[in-house]
Amino acid sequence: MRFKVLLGVVLILLGAALSLFLWDARFHWFQGGPLGLLLIAVGVFEVAEEFLRGRRRPEGPEPGGDEADRGQNRD
């Protein structure tokens, strides 16, 4: 989890640097500004995905609950 959050933050920072300082710079076939915006969007998606995944509760019965004991208590 920490790796994806760290990756997202690095992409956001790298994209911000490209967008702010190298907007008109050309590297072979791409321009710095649009690539920076793309990196920011991907970074925000990565960070948001990890935080939303951490907040979700698992669905279904909990392990060791009533349903786990249901088959063992037959007389």
Asked if residues 41 and 18 have their Cβ atoms less than 8 Å apart, the reply is no
Q: What is the pLDDT of residue 42?
A: 95
Asked if residues 7 and 56 have their Cβ atoms less than 8 Å apart, the reply is no
- Domain residue extents for the chain: 2-54
Q: What is the pLDDT of residue 64?
A: 60
Rg (CA), the chain: 22
Asked if residues 9 and 47 have their Cβ atoms less than 8 Å apart, the reply is yes
Sign of CA dihedral 20, 23, 27, 29: positive
pTM: 0.65
Higher pLDDT, 66 or 21: 21
Q: What is the pLDDT of residues 31-58, one digit of tens each?
A: 788 888 999 999 999 999 988 887 765 6
